Amino acid sequence: MTTRVWDYLVEYEAERLDLLDAVETVFNSGQLVLGASLRGFESEFAAYHGIEHCVGVDNGTNAIKLGLQALGIGPGDEVITVSNTAAPTVVAIDGTGATPVFVDVREDDFLMDTGQVEAAITERTKCLLPVHLYGQCVDMAPLKELAAKHGLSILEDCAQAHGARQNGKVAGSTGDAAAFSFYPTKVLGAYGDGGAVITSAESVDRRLRRLRYYGMDERYYTLETPAHNSRLDEVQAEILRRKLKRLDTYTAGRRAVAQRYVDGLGDTGLKLPRTVPGNEHVYYVYVVRHPRRDEILERLKAYDIQLNISYPWPVHTMTGFAHLGYETGSLPVTEKLATEIFSLPMYPALTADLQDKVVHAVREVLSAL
In this predicted model, what pLDDT tens digit does every residue of 42-99 receive, in sequence order?
999 999 999 999 999 999 999 999 999 999 999 999 999 999 999 999 999 999 999 9
Q: Residue 163's pLDDT is what?
A: 98
* CATH class assigned to 247-368: alpha beta
Q: Which CATH number fits domain 9-103+110-244: 1.10.3720.10, 3.40.50.720, 3.40.640.10, 3.30.70.2740?
A: 3.40.640.10
Residue 353: pLDDT over 90: yes
Q: What is the pLDDT of residues 109-129, one digit of tens each?
A: 999 999 999 999 999 999 999
Question: Are β-strands 195-199 and 286-289 bridged in parallel, bridged antiparallel, or unpaired?
Answer: unpaired
pLDDT at site 306: 86
**pLDDT (average), residues 228-245:** 97
Digit-coded pLDDT (tens) for 264-311: 999 999 999 999 999 999 999 999 999 999 999 999 999 998 899 999
> Do 284 and 134 form a contact (C-beta atoms < 8 A)?
yes
pLDDT at 227: 85
Closest among 281, 327, 261 to 111, alpha carbons compared: 281
Query: What's the confidence (pLDDT) of residue 367?
Result: 96
Look up the pTM and report it: 0.96
| Structure letter (DSSP) for residue 206 | H
The CA distance from 344 to 358, in Å, is 8
Return the H-helix or E-strand segment holding 178. strand 177-181
CA nearest neighbour of 88 among 107, 57, 115, 65 = 65
Q: Given a cut of 90, is residue 324 above it in pLDDT?
A: yes
Question: 260-272: per-residue pLDDT in tens?
Answer: 999 999 999 999 9
* Long-range contacts, stretch 85-90, CB < 8 angstroms, 24+ apart: 85/131, 85/133, 85/157, 85/311, 85/315, 86/159, 86/310, 86/311, 87/311, 87/315, 87/318, 88/60, 88/61, 88/64, 88/159, 88/181, 89/64, 89/129, 89/131, 89/157, 89/159, 89/315, 90/315, 90/321
Q: What is the pLDDT of residue 101?
A: 98
Question: According to the model, what pLDDT value does residue 223 have?
Answer: 66
At residue 350, does pLDDT exceed 80?
Answer: yes
Higher-scoring residue by pLDDT: 226, 224:
226
Query: What is the pLDDT of the chain when averaged over all its residues?
Result: 96
State the pLDDT confidence band at 2, using cuts at 50, 70 and 90: confident
Task: Tell whether the model's pLDDT for residue 218 goes beyond 80.
Answer: no
159 pLDDT tier (thresholds 50, 70, 90): very high
pLDDT of the residue at 220: 65
pLDDT the model gives residue 106: 98
Give the three-state DSSP class for 145.
helix
Residues 196-213: pLDDT tens digits?
Answer: 999 999 999 999 999 999
**For 313-333, what is the mean pLDDT?**
96
Q: What is the CA radius of gyration of the chain?
A: 21
Label the pairing between strands 53-57 and 195-199: antiparallel
* In the chain, where the domains are located: 9-103+110-244, 247-368
Q: What is the pLDDT of residue 199?
A: 98
Give the residue numbers marked as catalytic.
186
Which has the minimum average pLDDT: 35-44, 95-104, 145-154, 222-231? Answer: 222-231
pLDDT of residue 217: 78
- Checking if the pLDDT of 1 tops 70, the result is no
